[in-house]
A and B are shown apart, each in its own frame.
Chain A
Amino acid sequence: MITLTVNGQKHKVDADPNMPLLWAIRDIIGLTGTKYGCGAAQCGACTVHLNGESVRSCVTKLSRAAGQQVVTIEGLSANNNHPLQQAWNELNVPQCGYCQSGQLMSAAVLLRENPQPTDQDIDDAMSGNICRCGTYQRIRSAIHLAAELQRKAMASK
């Protein structure tokens, strides 16, 4: 039995400790926003936050998350209102949408660490996330927009 916290909620998971966190989150905990794309740390579709850092859940063993804090796309914000989510919706970033959970989770770490990223910063931070539909141009613009929204929100506080 492995205990972990996902999106602030404690879960006891009875599964093979070698099971990738991805399948535990999807099949057992039942949160399907985190996606399977390659199973080989190549595409970033499965990106979640483990204690605040981006990890590829397809190659992260469930045992590694024991006693840790996991955040998935479902926990990125309460009402789909993280500045990145707002920007993504404003600029119609998603096409098929399958990669976007991972894109957003990677971008969230970038924006937290670097509130005013340049194009180069964005390209570097997002290089692990594939989008087969080719939404990259909009992802770049949306991260800039989210940075602006975040700054505005801070300023008004």
Chain B
Amino acid sequence: MEANAISRRNFLKISGLAGSALCLGTYFVAEAKNENLITAANAEKAGIEMNAWIHIDTNGKVTIVDHRAEMGQGSYQSVPQIVAEELEVDLKDIDVIFGEGNQEKFGNQITGGSSTIRGSYKNLLKLGATSRVLLVTAAANKWGVPLIDCYAKSGHVFHRPTGKKFHYGELVEVASKLTPPQDIPLKTRAEYKLIGKPLNRRDSPAKTNGEAIFGLDKKLPGMLYAAVERNPRMRGKVKSFDATEALKVPGVKKVFKVKMGVFTIYREGVAVVATSTWAALQGKKALKVTWDDTGFEHINTADIYKIQHEKLKTDEGLLLQKVGNPDAAISKAAKVIDVVYQTPYQSHSAMEPVNCVAWYRPEKLEIWGPIQAPEWVQDFVSKQMKMPKKNVIVNMTFLGGGFGRKAFMDYPHEAAVISKEAGAPVQVIWKREDDLTQGPYRPGITYRCQGVIDNGEMSVAKFRMAGQNIDHWSNGKSSGKANDSTSEGFLKPYFDSIKNVSFAEVVFEAPIPAMWWRSVYASTNGFAYESFLNEMAHEANKDQLDFRRAYLKDERCQQLIDKLEKVSGWKSRDKKSGYGVAITECFNTTVGQVVKVSRQQNGKIKIDKVWAVMDCGWYVNPDIIAAQVEGSVLMGLGAATTHEITFKDGLVQQNNFYDYPMPRIADMPPVEVHIMENTADAGGVGEPGLPPFAPALTDAIFDLTGKRIRKLPFDMQTV
């Protein structure tokens, strides 16, 4: 009793909002899967500060924390949409703020792996419901009426028999002294008023009148601006530099060498600190730097693929998964389909180039920026700067796109180092050229796929992948085990139906910074594996959808195929056009796409339509989902038909949008999105729409032209 009495006080937190407030949060043991609702007792025992996801102040104002990055994928809308559902508040009445980086408070915050919703929705529902029950109980106690006669709606608790009411603000004091009940029943999907509805995004208005604050828009009093000339070869060093001309640029204050940590290595450059962005950029241009590029390999794109192709001829690689005995079956087969697919290095090229604001003081370092993983930044930068973690505050702004690049910790660290040396708050801007030429990149991967069709049945599918392992980069070494993402993208039910199937990683290392890029390995695996399945279907003389139906016995897959077939009019497709299909899995979500292409009068191929069916289980906002799929298709289009980062002598050869051209509005095909309804757990949304696009497109082109495309990017203008 005593312990609880003390602990309960933890709920009553005087926050800066408006006097006392009810604050509810969760307590993360370590991993997201161990998340527990904070109760008075366990908060106390864990010795943590009672944290708050939901604040309700005495005026009744509800504030919900968005603990994830908002980089376009919609967390700023979806997170409150979930909480408000169970809390019974109207979305128009609440405020939403971004949470700062804090693993103990918020658990995983990394906005990657399409994890915003799937990683936290159960917890958010529970939090909302718990707060609501506490408030309703408080009202019943205040009125001295039975709990059963009270209910919550629109930020108020009502007494049914009399119609009297309290707003939540009038109840927080009492509610905050109650012990949170456990096991509160949650609403069923049919009872939802907000979840599942295509509600308008709450960040839209600020994004149409210039009010939204992105990283580059963050300004501080006395803030200086910095631009950095970094060694274009990531592992290279600064040998010497001449700042004479740079220092002559009006507004340039200081020029010095910087080193920033990139996982296990350091990237070096020379920083120019000035009173305006323009002065910093001019100063950077006037710098003369000599680099030391000894001690590591200067790689060429041609060599990368030559090595990958050569290795795939003989190297069996590190086995990840195996069913049956593909090798034995291949050696006995009369005919083996044996094909190689190649995919390119990609730049993330978010619309907002990398940038960061840091303000270093000996006792406190504060960071603001377009950051995908604030808790990682806090951890990494505090170690690098040798500061206690609690003295490093990492704030997220809106992100002008991220796609994986902004989960790297290099640029916040660099900004911190520069602010310390400059003795002032500093905003570091990366030019578009810096953003494009310095990576990290999605690794370019080559695949060898072998298969056998036996009496119309696919009896063997053997896959090997040769490409950089992103984890090797972040850990700095190879583990000697197969990349566990080797089969990413490939639907799991295939393992139950193909008699002989295997996946292996043929180790390929290169000194190129590799990083997750929207949908990660599924984006390249999907192209290889699904293209291969289409080739196998053709070999078996089967319709591509029927072919998949025969192997994907899982009920959800069957339903998805039926739906895709129906919405795309697959069965009645016209013979003049080309139709292609692909179905991939990514972050617990399956997406099938049908692409329709036709030959225009000028001889060029045009994409007439894309139908997408997504099974992401439990979902929040269908309009955001549709938007994510539309965007994924366009990003997939660039990656399939235009984009390739190439290296010559270790230097990236693309610079800006003139030589890494982005698809324009005229390139956007009409995309129609359908979402499957079921009761499965939530899957990802932001990325899974991307992987099936390229293989569905090349399948459609095969249907139209008879030409198989096995290497990306390919030129739509010339096929």
Contacts and interface: CB of A to CB of B under 8 A. Distances in A.
Contacts, number: 187
B210 A23 contact: no
B276 A40 contact: no
Interface string B207-224: 111111110110100000
A100 interface: yes
Interface in B257-310: 276-279
Given A15-B276, A135-B631, A85 B208 contact: yes
B401 A132 contact: yes
Given A88-B204, A138-B630, 10 more contacts: A30-B219, A32-B214, A32-B219, A40-B657, A77-B209, A80-B205, A92-B627, A97-B400, A127-B666, A130-B664
B632 interface: yes
A93 B154 CA distance: 28
Contacts of B225: 27
A33 B203 contact: no
A33 B211 contact: yes
Contact of A132 (B219, B277, B635, B656): B635
A20 to B, nearest CB: 7
A43 B623 contact: no
B564 interface: no
Nearest to B350: A132
A19 B74 CA distance: 36
A32 B668 contact: no
B212 A135 contact: no
Given A96-B401, A130-B664, A43 B657 contact: yes
A73 B379 CA distance: 37
Interface in B32-72: 71-72
Contacts of A35: 214, 216, 351-352, 400
B204 A126 contact: no
Interface of A: 15-16, 19-20, 23, 26-28, 30-40, 42-43, 45, 72-74, 76-77, 80, 84-85, 88-90, 92-101, 104, 122-123, 126-127, 129-140
Given A40-B656, A74-B210, A137 B671 contact: yes
Determine which residue in A38, A45, A73, A94 has the highest number of CB atoms from chain B within 10 A of its CB, and name it: A38
Contacts of B217: 26, 32
A98 B214 contact: yes
B670 interface: yes
A21 to B, nearest CB: 10
A124 to B, nearest CB: 8
B207 A100 contact: yes
A134 B250 contact: no
A147 to B, nearest CB: 16
Contact of B207 (A40, A45, A72, A94): A94
B112 to A, nearest CB: 15
13 contacts: A16-B250, A27-B225, A38-B657, A80-B209, A95-B627, A96-B350, A96-B398, A97-B212, A127-B666, A133-B401, A134-B633, A137-B630, A137-B670
Place the interface of chain B in its size category.
Answer: 35 or more
B290 to A, nearest CB: 26
Interface in B231-251: 250-251
Nearest to A142: B208
B72 A136 contact: no
A96 B352 contact: yes
Given A30-B219, A96-B72, A132-B351, A139 B665 contact: yes
Given A137-B630, A137-B670, A97 B219 contact: no
A138 B408 CA distance: 31
Interface string B407-448: 000000000000000000000010110000000000000000
A134 B634 contact: yes
Interface string B348-375: 0111110000000000000000000000
A127 B663 CA distance: 9
B227 to A, nearest CB: 11
B353 A36 contact: yes
Contacts of A23: 276-278
A133 B204 contact: no
Nearest to B399: A96
A72 B631 CA distance: 26
Given A132-B351, A134-B631, A135-B630, A94 B210 contact: no
Contact of A95 (B276, B349, B631): B631
A100 to B, nearest CB: 5
A33 B630 CA distance: 25
A36 B352 CA distance: 7
B72 A33 contact: no
A40 B432 contact: yes
A133 B203 contact: no
B209 to A, nearest CB: 4
B432 A101 contact: no
A140 B350 contact: no
A133 to B, nearest CB: 5
Contact of A130 (B71, B201, B251, B657): B657
A42 B276 CA distance: 23
Contacts of B210: 31-34, 72-74, 101
A40 B658 contact: yes
